[in-house]
Amino acid sequence: MMKLFNTLTRTKEEFKPMTEGQVKMYACGPTVYNYFHLGNARPFVTYDTLRRYLEYRGYKVTFCQNFTDIDDKMIKRANEEGVTVKDIAERYIKEYYVDADGLNCKRPTIQPRATESMDAIIALVQTLMDKGYAYIIEGDGVYYDVTKFEDYGKLSHYKLEDLVAGGGERKASYEGKKNPGDFAIWKFKKEGEPFWPSPWGEGRPGWHIECSAMIKKYLGDTIDIHGGGQDLIFPHHENEIAQSEAANGCTFVNYWVHNAFVNVDGEKMSKSLGNFFTIRDIVAQFPYEVVRFFILSGHYRMPINFSDELLRSAQNGLARITTSIKNLKFVIGKNSGDGSGDEALLEAVKKAGDEFIERMDDDLNTADAITAIFNLVKEANTAVGAGNCSDAALKAALDKLLELTDVLGIVTEEKNDIPSEVMDLVNKRTEAKKAKDFALADSLRDQITALGYSVKDTANGPQVEKL
């Protein structure tokens, strides 16, 4: 049975969905005003992996991840460039998919935009007004009164009296607010800003209300899992709870899951600190799959440090796995093993599968799950080298490696279609070596390399791979 660390209770809890065999899950998506950086990528990869694992364990997962496409940062960017906020959103949603697809993140079941959910947002604000949880500040907007929600602070464990002025909005000014921690749920329009009609006046939603409304609209009043980075615990997720539970009169989320930061020189990677590296910057030097493997090599609740050296280490680790897979694929069908090594290899296959599930069930421990994969890689490499396993045992090892790496999304099936031009040169080289014409064989190898391929002589014949 899987256990997840619930931020709300600060304990690992056995995961029990509301409906047997089904999971409703939401993760906060990007604010689309720039390329996303490695710190943003960590939650995207983490919750994609959680969704993959739940599906692997037989659950039907409805996974919703939003786009915040109206926001102060987007308005600022649009005004600087002299374009519309929608132009900025369209540009960076397109770029988001380039990087998210590159990181092998499956498309969410539902991926709503805040601007396309305005009916749900306005309805939720109206409910909060009707129930007395919100009030209007003339010329400013509609605010949520945090003192009206008696459980405010239960996620972050902050107390109302400890909130500094503007704590709920992360700004110093709180003129007109009833309490320092009150936050805007509807902001009246200002010059140069997009706006929508509402019962209280033209304007746009506050950030926190967007997620509450989209969850209610697309998943319902209560969901199983809500994920995000730990920086969202307060005020964003705290405010989501206050809004949703006040409006709906029921528990909002059963399991709150938060990933830790990516650090650079001991400090959180963030745009505000200027120490961030976009995924686009990183993949100029390292492939997307290496970045994903790097993220999953640490437990999601532990900070991870960013450096070229650690990415190179991740690249080498992933190469061990992919090389083992390639070698198994190459040997199967050409193998003449007597089967004397089958028992040991098949035991390693079973052990790897069992350990993988055990580790992943323990609060999504991808780091130790990867260790289970490495243990199978070691046994598979030994079997290939010894040449004493049947094709059936080798295929069992290959299938298990492909199965487990697919759950983590770290290995994508490559089309190993070697061009006929290259294979002709490989075959000529083989004939040249048989004739002991080593000068010609070396020349043919150079031609193969020039075309972007390598050739390696093995007991089962020449093995050709793309460089």
Number of folded domains in the chain?
3
Question: Do residues 291 and 363 share a domain?
Answer: no
Q: In 3-state terms, what secondary structure has residue 363?
A: coil
Question: Do residues 270 and 348 share a domain?
Answer: no
Closest CA to 128 of 221, 249, 285: 249
The answer as to whether 126 is a domain residue is: no
**Nearest-5° Cα angle at 414, 410 to 417:** 170
Confidence at residue 172, expressed as pLDDT on a 0 to 100 scale: 45
The answer as to whether 280 is a domain residue is: yes
Quick one: 19 exposed, middle or buried, by C-beta within 10 A (0-12, 13-18, 19+)? Answer: exposed
Closest CA to 261 of 313, 305, 312: 305
The answer as to whether 128 is a domain residue is: no
As given in the structure block, the two tokens for residue 177 are 């607010």
Question: Do residues 340 and 274 share a domain?
Answer: no
Question: Do residues 94 and 57 share a domain?
Answer: yes
The answer as to whether 214 is a domain residue is: no
Burial 369-379 (b: 16+ CB within 10 A, else e): bbebbeebbeb
What is the residue type of 253? V
Among the candidates 363, 382, 408, a domain finishes at: 408
Question: Do residues 269 and 346 share a domain?
Answer: no
Among the candidates 252, 271, 306, a domain finishes at: 306
Question: Do residues 298 and 374 share a domain?
Answer: no
> Cα–Cα distance between 146 and 74 in angstroms, integer?
27
What is the residue type of 169? E
Over the stretch 25-68, which tens digit does the pLDDT of each residue have? 999 999 999 999 999 999 999 999 999 999 999 999 999 999 99
Confidence at residue 430, expressed as pLDDT on a 0 to 100 scale: 76
Instruction: Please state, in angstroms and as integers, the Cα–Cα distance from residue 5 to each residue in 17, 189, 215, 453, following that order.
Output: 15, 41, 21, 46
> Cα–Cα distance between 397 and 389 in angstroms, integer?
11
The angle, 0 to 180 degrees and rounded to 10, between the axes of the packed helices 288-296 and 308-331 is 110
Question: Do residues 401 and 311 share a domain?
Answer: yes
Question: Do residues 380 and 456 share a domain?
Answer: no
> Cα–Cα distance between 228 and 211 in angstroms, integer?
12
Among the candidates 363, 385, 408, a domain finishes at: 408
Torsion of CA 302, 303, 309, 312, to 10 degrees: 50
CATH of the domain at 386: 1.20.120.640
The answer as to whether 428 is a domain residue is: yes
The answer as to whether 156 is a domain residue is: no
Phi first, then psi: what are they for 200, rounded to 5°? -105, -10
Confidence at residue 415, expressed as pLDDT on a 0 to 100 scale: 52
The answer as to whether 161 is a domain residue is: no
Instruction: Please state, in angstroms and as integers, the Cα–Cα distance from residue 213 to each residue in 120, 121, 229, following that order.
Output: 5, 5, 20
* Cα-trace Rg, the chain: 27
DSSP string, 79-138: HHHTS-HHHHHHHHHHHHHHHHHHTTPPPPSB--BGGG-HHHHHHHHHHHHHTTSEEEET
- Neighbour count for residue 420 (Cβ, 10 Å): 8
The reply to whether the predicted model has a pTM over 0.85 is: yes
> Cα–Cα distance between 365 and 301 in angstroms, integer?
9
The answer as to whether 205 is a domain residue is: no
CB 51 within 8 A of CB 364: no
Confidence at residue 173, expressed as pLDDT on a 0 to 100 scale: 59
Question: Which helix (H) or strand (E) element contains residue 269?
Answer: none
**Nearest-5° Cα angle at 431, 326 to 449:** 50
As given in the structure block, the two tokens for residue 25 are 């899950």
CB 105 within 8 A of CB 224: no
CATH of the domain at 47: 3.40.50.620
Confidence at residue 164, expressed as pLDDT on a 0 to 100 scale: 54
Cα of 246 vs its chain's centroid, Å: 30
Residues of the chain with pLDDT under 70: 163-174, 414-417, 459-461
Question: Do residues 361 and 277 share a domain?
Answer: no
Domain that holds residue 95: 17-112+260-306
Question: Do residues 325 and 356 share a domain?
Answer: yes
Cα of 431 vs its chain's centroid, Å: 49
Question: Do residues 30 and 59 share a domain?
Answer: yes
- Neighbour count for residue 218 (Cβ, 10 Å): 19
Question: Do residues 31 and 100 share a domain?
Answer: yes
